[in-house]
């Protein structure tokens, strides 16, 4: 008598939340990666599709189609009420400026996320989508990450969260059921991570090979400090910001800004910290390192020459500071992003 095979497990059900304040590329990008897991590798290597291992579903508070970012139309496959049994819920980024209030914008979605999590679902967010988990109170006491431009806002608005802005992927909570990707295309890391958890590492590796996906192991640190140098409302500090943007390489730049502001040194430093979230010296380092990044990407000057040009007489100190703040050495940064810049320039020639 032949042995009966156990039926294959049903594909894990993954709900991808959609709302008007998002982009179709992330919603449907995640959908496509989950849909191809297990299926497309067989097409490539054997000419026949394999079994689909995951069942993605686009859900929204409404069934009718609606426009999202860049006026792209999304057509949901189910409403929130119709989808109460998802194994995983994915939240794309929210196209809301950092610091803008979220009250009242996503109440239905947040209530649904709380219910799904209480029922045992894993919640995974891309980019600024983690702000919805924070607003729901689900990240209190946990580590978290989000897009680098929102990390300071998250830390200030939700002080119970331990924000890890340098990391591109964080898994937290009971059973690691809160998964967050950082900015930009780090949602690809999140999708691979979820495929590995729900369908196996081999399936995730097959999806990565098919789609030429590289893991974002360097995190967000090369870009994270840009968001903190925005202009402020304090007129005296804004005047100093405008001046230091052109004079960051000068010796004793903080003392020069104090003199320019007309304030007592202690008052200047307190107001600068309040206005920018950084000390004056930290702000100077930020500007210098951003300029150094541009020079490393676009030229062939020795690291020592770049250090001197942006205001550091000690190249060793510059290299240590760069490594600490960017998570790469200057040479590693040049290899990674200089190659990218050259390729883009060649393609635009």
* Span 9-61, pLDDT tens digits: 789 999 999 999 999 999 999 999 999 999 998 888 788 999 999 999 999 99
pLDDT tens-digit map of 231-270 = 567 899 989 998 998 899 999 999 999 999 999 999 999 9
pLDDT of residue 218: 58
Question: Of 147, 260, 199, whose CA–CA distance to 38 is shortest?
Answer: 199
CATH architecture of 230-347: Orthogonal Bundle (1.10)
The 10s digit of each residue's pLDDT in 194-235 is 998 999 888 887 888 888 877 665 556 555 555 555 556 789
Per-residue confidence (pLDDT) for residue 345, from 0 to 100 = 62
- Give pLDDT, residue 327: 84
Tens digits of per-residue pLDDT, 331-348? Answer: 998 887 777 567 656 655
Mean pLDDT of 99-106: 92
pLDDT averaged over the chain?
Answer: 88
The answer to whether the pTM exceeds 0.75 is: no
Q: What pLDDT is stored for residue 1 in this prediction?
A: 45
CATH topology agreement for domains 12-220 and 230-347: no
DSSP E strand boundaries for the chain:
12-17, 54-60, 66-67, 73-74, 78-79, 88-91, 122-125, 143-144, 162-163, 169-172, 178-181
Considering the four listed CATH numbers 3.40.630.30, 3.40.50.300, 3.40.50.880, 3.40.50.280, the one that applies to the domain covering 12-220 is: 3.40.50.880
Domain boundaries in the chain? 12-220, 230-347
């Amino acid at each position: 008598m032949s042995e009966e095979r156990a039926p294959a497990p049903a594909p894990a059900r993954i709900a991808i939340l959609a709302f008007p304040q998002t982009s179709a590329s992330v919603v449907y990008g995640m959908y496509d990666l989950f849909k191809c897991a297990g299926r497309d590798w067989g097409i490539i290597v054997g000419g026949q599709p394999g079994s689909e291992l995951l069942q993605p579903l686009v859900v929204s508070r409404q069934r009718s189609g609606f426009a999202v970012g860049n006026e792209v139309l999304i057509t949901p496959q189910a409403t929130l009420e119709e989808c109460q049994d998802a194994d995983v819920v994915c939240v794309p980024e929210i196209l809301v400026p950092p610091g803008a209030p979220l009250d009242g914008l996503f109440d239905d979605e947040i209530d649904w996320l709380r219910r799904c999590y209480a029922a045992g679902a894993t919640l995974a967010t891309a980019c600024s989508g983690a702000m919805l988990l924070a607003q729901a109170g689900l990240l209190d006491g946990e580590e978290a990450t989000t897009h680098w431009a929102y990390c300071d806002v998250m830390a200030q608005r939700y002080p119970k969260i331990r924000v890890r802005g340098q990391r591109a992927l964080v898994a937290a909570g009971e059973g690691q059921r809160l998964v967050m990707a950082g900015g930009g295309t780090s949602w690809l890391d999140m999708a691979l991570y979820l495929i590995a958890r729900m369908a196996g590492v081999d399936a995730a590796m097959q999806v990565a090979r098919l789609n030429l996906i590289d893991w974002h192991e360097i995190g967000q640190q090369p870009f994270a400090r840009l968001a903190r140098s925005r202009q402020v409302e304090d007129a005296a500090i804004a005047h100093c910001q405008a001046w230091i943007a052109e004079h960051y390489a000068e010796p004793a730049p903080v003392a020069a800004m104090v003199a320019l502001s007309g304030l007592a040194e202690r008052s200047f430093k307190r107001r600068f910290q309040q206005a920018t979230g950084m000390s004056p010296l930290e702000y100077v380092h930020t500007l210098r390192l951003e300029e150094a990044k541009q020079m490393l990407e676009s030229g062939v000057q020795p690291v020592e020459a770049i250090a001197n040009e942006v205001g550091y007489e000690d190249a060793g100190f510059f290299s240590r500071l760069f490594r600490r703040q960017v998570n790469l050495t200057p040479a590693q940064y040049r290899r990674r992003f200089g190659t990218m810049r050259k390729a883009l320039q060649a393609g635009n020639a």
